[in-house]
Amino acid sequence: MAEFRSHPPVSDWDHYVDFESTSWPKKDRRNYWIIPSICFNCESGCGILAYVDKDTLDVRKIEGNPLHPGSRGRTCAKGVVTPNQLEDPDRILRPLKRVGKRGSGEWAPVSWDEALEDIGGRIRKAILEDRRREVMYHVGRPGEDGYVNRVLQAWGLDSHNSHTNVCSSSARLGHFLWTGADRPSPDYAHARTILLLSSHLESGHYFNPHAQRIIEGKTRGAKLIVMDPRMSNTSAKADVWMPTKPGTEAAILLAIARHLIDTGRYNREFVRRWVNWETYLTTSRPDLPATFEAFEAALKEEYEVFTPEYAEIESGVPAHKILEAAEAVADAGTSFCTHSWRSAAAGHLWGWQITRCLYFLVVLMGAVGEKGGVNLHATNKFVPKHPNPPPAPEYWNELLFPKEFPLAFHEMSFLLPHFLKEGRGKVDVYFTRVYNPLWTNPDGFSWMEMLEDESKIGLHIALTPMWSETAWFADYVLPMGLGTERHDTMSQETHAGRWLGFRQPVKRVALEKKGTPVGTTHEANPGEVWEESEFWIALSWKIDPDGTLGIRKYFESPYRAGEQITVDEYYGWMFENSVPGLPEAASAEDLTPLQYMRKYGVFKVDEVAYSKAHEQPVEAGGVEIDGGRLAGFNTPSRKLEFFSPTLAEWGWPEHAIPRYVPGQVYWRDLDPSTNEFDLLPNFRLPTLIHTRAPVKWLYEIAHSNPLWIATGDAERLGIAMGDLVKVNTGIGFFVTRAWVTEGIRPGVVAMSHHLGRWRLDEDQGGARNATALVRIARGTDGQYEMRQVHAAQPFKSGDADSARVWWTEIGVHQNLTFPVQPDPVSGMHCWHQRVRLEKAGPDDSYGDIMVDTAKSHQLYLEWMAKTRPAPGPDGTRRPLWFDRPLKPVRAAYDVPKV
């Protein structure tokens, strides 16, 4: 029989001959280099293969890299569309400099050198004048591990700002409090029961690698339990779908915990050995003896109220379903997987308690680090050391970690406009990098106000592969490469193994294969599109041309003293010196480690890896368990912290153990008589990406985000399928269409992220097939009205498909109308909104938006009042054991004495 391969064998990659599909069945042959890289369209880091045409050097198509242990040769829709992005007619191909007023849309081309000179000079000045805190790097999806952190460290800056607080803070904090690791790494493929508070079969953090393994686990007989108020694609595949009343998830989770405890079907030995129950007893139940039995009794008392019946009343999920789920958890033993990343945790005030309650079940089952259980992410993610590590920054940047949020995970990034409004500082040089805060974050008009104000943002540089709403308000728009146009290393905890991926600019690699040396990547990429790896090196040399600032030395070659480091040298050094096993694997094939990575795009660090480090005996430190000294976990107690002394000491004693606390939109508080609903605004469609989605093949499938509303609710409001609805939030409203469905819990409405992109200019500033042209009218005191002039339209371009755009409405930008709602502990923006629905009136049009930023600042202050600021018990700004993407020196933690 004919054996079919999923991919051409590696031996053919340098001389692959393919039939041209478009002239088939004529057998026209084309010659390709197959060059591996890493996808840049989400954080999964899936391996891809670029088919580079030997004649044209164009990327003909993208497939999965079969050698990649995480993605195993497969990709999702988003990966395959990379060529759409490369050839997008609305791509930014050259560096642009603003010439008119900021935001006016007047641009002039600028050379890379001119841009570097200007930006570098400005940063140099800030450093020389000790205004380091006025330089800020704000990143969306990093798509790389550690490179830019090192750059910022080399510059001596505490300047790393991220998107984490609109994404995963409450998942991270919840996991971190338990284990000292802020991400779970579930081993879905071997699980017996999988409990998801997320929609990993359509989005999730590592969609493609995780979806593969969830279905693999399910095929092997695992039971899939999904909590989601909405019929997601993931709910659709669930054996038990629990459509909760939003924010009540913890009630169900604790009911499951109670069931496990009551029936004794939990891993007693694991809990006895690894949970810090002694601390709990000493602190909370001094009345009881310090025995494990006493702890068990106390647990029963703590969670006594969480009967399935109680959970049913709270969550709306029938008690029998909760029991079914509880039994499935009990049956799983240590092969029990859970995951929560955004969804409920990101939706609600105290969302990190939802995560904690979820992980409580993992702990009860003793599934930590077990086959089919949940690893700590560090076990499955490999970050190699970069060359010549600079020291930690010596100061604390309060614009990133203000005193009000000592426990935030991480930077309070989405509050920046409010911080500046309050006069907490200014930003002289502001990089946004593959990040579109004006569009992605809540309260976008406050971002617009901030970006327009040159006294707040001195110089705004947008590093981006394509136009964004934020880039429109930049001073420099610097085009950076996509997944096949740049160098990065990346690793993710996709499964119970470990790998390191290498992203590379495939056209550059092809040119070099052809024998044409390439100086910088922008010579090989389309137009003058560059890559950040080289950009940061060049910029660093502009900041410190003579080395007197002590910065340049970090960007000098480890091989050629005093010379500028090249990307080959940078990554070559990493692969030679900090990836165990790689040099040996390379030399076995007579390759240098860099050549090996260029050839395969990935290195398997560990075939199988389970988190067992805590069981390792140690000489000193660690924790004493049953008379032995073991390494333990990365928590202060070295145990899994059921009781968090940190929370108790830092002002949150009532939250010291996993608890059910309803969030900011609690169903009991909603008034149906005024048509109040809970808006779930943070779900995703499997084909969309945050800032990089607007391409033809993806938009053809999904281009609009109607408001999901339950049949009965719609009927009550007199709303039919497709009718316009006005959704009133705390600071304004938006108008969209209703999509009436049985796939959502009554009382909840839902709207997908990622749609409703807009531009302010007919011809530039956004993909014409994916943005609406809008006009913004301004009131005198922070009022804004946005109206769509027209939606997507067919247009003429070099791509004949541009004229075939058939979709029109491209969604509504709901986030503009959301006030900021920072969780006082995790710092997470709590996405769910309490909204009032009404049928749209005669003057309302699709896409209308009204916002009052004065109101949004008022609400900001109300949320800020919930915080319990630093210092902590030791006079510091933040617990020393808490992660930060870029940790300053110890001294910077001390809150200065007034």
Q: Which residues within the stretch 480-509 sit at the binding site for another protein (CB under 8 A)?
A: none
Q: How far is CA 102 from the centre of its chain?
A: 29
Q: Rule CB under 8 A: say whether 716 interacts with another protein.
A: no
How far is it, in rounded angstroms, from Cα 689 to Cα 78? Answer: 7
Q: Rule CB under 8 A: say whether 800 interacts with another protein.
A: yes
Q: Rule CB under 8 A: say whether 618 interacts with another protein.
A: no
Count of residues of this chain found to bind another protein when the rule CB under 8 A is applied: 85
- Least distance in angstroms from the C-beta of 317 to another protein: 8
CB nearer another protein, residue 80 or residue 177: 80
DSSP alpha helices (H): ranges in 589-710?
A: 593-600, 645-649, 696-701
Q: Report the candidate in 368, 378, 411, 406 with the shortest Cα–Cα distance to residue 181.
A: 378
Candidate ranges 214-222, 566-574, 637-645, 866-874; the one touching another protein (CB under 8 A): 214-222
Q: Rule CB under 8 A: say whether 8 interacts with another protein.
A: yes
- Least distance in angstroms from the C-beta of 202 to another protein: 6
CB nearer another protein, residue 218 or residue 614: 218
What are the angstrom distances between the C-alpha of 655 and each of 466, 471, 649? 43, 41, 11
- Say if CB 191 and CB 163 are below 8 A apart: no
Q: Rule CB under 8 A: say whether 584 interacts with another protein.
A: no
103-105-107-112 Cα dihedral, nearest 10 degrees: 50
What is the greatest pairwise CA distance in the chain? Answer: 85
Q: Which of 45, 64, 120, 393 binds another protein (CB under 8 A)?
A: 64
Which positions from 156 through 195 interact with another protein, judged by CB under 8 A? none
Token pair 């990554």: residue: 571
- Least distance in angstroms from the C-beta of 210 to another protein: 9
Candidate ranges 208-216, 334-342, 663-671, 854-862; the one touching another protein (CB under 8 A): 208-216
- Least distance in angstroms from the C-beta of 256 to another protein: 18
Which positions from 219 through 248 interact with another protein, judged by CB under 8 A? 219, 231, 233-237, 241, 243
* Burial zone of 704 (CB within 10 Å; 0-12 exposed, 13-18 middle, 19+ buried): buried
CB nearer another protein, residue 207 or residue 677: 207
Which residue type sits at 308?
P
- Least distance in angstroms from the C-beta of 700 to another protein: 6
Q: Which residues contact 612 (CB under 8 A, 6 or more apart)?
A: 369
- Say if CB 134 and CB 458 are below 8 A apart: yes
Candidate ranges 273-281, 304-312, 656-664, 683-691; the one touching another protein (CB under 8 A): 683-691
CB nearer another protein, residue 287 or residue 742: 742
Which positions from 436 through 465 interact with another protein, judged by CB under 8 A? none
Candidate ranges 494-502, 623-631, 661-669, 798-806; the one touching another protein (CB under 8 A): 798-806
Candidate ranges 62-70, 148-156, 220-228, 306-314; the one touching another protein (CB under 8 A): 62-70
Which positions from 91 through 150 interact with another protein, judged by CB under 8 A? none
Residues 17-56: x/- map of binding to another protein (CB under 8 A)?
Answer: -xxxxxxxxx------------------------------
How far is it, in rounded angstroms, from Cα 277 to Cα 292? Answer: 7
Candidate ranges 206-214, 252-260, 343-351, 444-452; the one touching another protein (CB under 8 A): 206-214
- Say if CB 130 and CB 123 are below 8 A apart: no
Handedness of CA 256, 262, 266, 269 (dihedral sign): positive
How far is it, in rounded angstroms, from Cα 345 to Cα 411? Answer: 17
How far is it, in rounded angstroms, from Cα 620 to Cα 264? Answer: 35
- Least distance in angstroms from the C-beta of 598 to another protein: 23
- Least distance in angstroms from the C-beta of 233 to another protein: 5
How far is it, in rounded angstroms, from Cα 458 to Cα 698? Answer: 36
- Least distance in angstroms from the C-beta of 663 to another protein: 21
How far is it, in rounded angstroms, from Cα 708 to Cα 696? Answer: 24
Which residue type sits at 544?
D
Which positions from 722 through 781 interact with another protein, judged by CB under 8 A? 722, 737, 739-746
Handedness of CA 479, 691, 733, 790 (dihedral sign): positive
Residues 309-338: x/- map of binding to another protein (CB under 8 A)?
Answer: --------x---------------------
CB nearer another protein, residue 190 or residue 829: 190
- Least distance in angstroms from the C-beta of 192 to another protein: 18
What are the angstrom distances between the C-alpha of 170 and each of 351, 355, 377, 659? 5, 7, 16, 14
Residues 629-668: x/- map of binding to another protein (CB under 8 A)?
Answer: ----------------------------------------
Q: Which of 267, 504, 687, 817 binds another protein (CB under 8 A)?
A: 687
**Residues facing residue 839 across a β-bridge:** 725
**Residues facing residue 623 across a β-bridge:** 630
How far is it, in rounded angstroms, from Cα 806 to Cα 302? Answer: 58
Q: Which pairs count as long-range contacts for 298-301, CB under 8 Å and 24+ apart, including other chains?
A: 299/261, 300/258, 300/261, 300/262
How far is it, in rounded angstroms, from Cα 746 to Cα 213? Answer: 32
DSSP alpha helices (H): ranges in 621-690?
A: 645-649
Q: Rule CB under 8 A: say whether 5 interacts with another protein.
A: yes
- Least distance in angstroms from the C-beta of 799 to another protein: 9
Q: Report the candidate in 767, 775, 771, 777 with the shortest Cα–Cα distance to residue 758.
A: 771
CB nearer another protein, residue 78 or residue 348: 78
CB nearer another protein, residue 194 or residue 810: 810
- Say if CB 244 and CB 229 are below 8 A apart: yes
CB nearer another protein, residue 381 or residue 684: 684
Candidate ranges 100-108, 335-343, 383-391, 679-687; the one touching another protein (CB under 8 A): 679-687
- Least distance in angstroms from the C-beta of 216 to another protein: 8
CB nearer another protein, residue 445 or residue 739: 739
Q: Report the candidate in 331, 229, 240, 120 with the shortest Cα–Cα distance to residue 665.
A: 229
Candidate ranges 362-370, 533-541, 599-607, 706-714; the one touching another protein (CB under 8 A): 706-714
Handedness of CA 263, 269, 274, 279 (dihedral sign): positive
A 10 A CB-CB count for 700 gives 15
How far is it, in rounded angstroms, from Cα 79 to Cα 71? Answer: 11
Which positions from 801 through 860 interact with another protein, judged by CB under 8 A? 801, 804-811
- Least distance in angstroms from the C-beta of 688 to another protein: 9
CB nearer another protein, residue 720 or residue 889: 720
Which positions from 81 through 100 interact with another protein, judged by CB under 8 A? 81, 83
Q: Which of 34, 127, 685, 709 binds another protein (CB under 8 A)?
A: 685
Question: How does DSSP assign 524-537, residue by residue?
Answer: HSSTT-B-HHHHHH
How far is it, in rounded angstroms, from Cα 703 to Cα 760? Answer: 19
Which positions from 365 through 424 interact with another protein, judged by CB under 8 A? none
**Residues facing residue 630 across a β-bridge:** 617, 623
Which positions from 543 through 572 interact with another protein, judged by CB under 8 A? none
Q: Rule CB under 8 A: say whether 710 interacts with another protein.
A: yes
Would you state the structure tokens that stand for residue 288, as one six-digit string?
Answer: 């009881």
CB nearer another protein, residue 597 or residue 767: 767
CB nearer another protein, residue 193 or residue 244: 244
Question: How does DSSP assign 145-195, residue by residue?
Answer: SSHHHHHHHHTT---EE-SGGGTTHHHHHHHHHHHS-SSEEE-GGG-SEEE
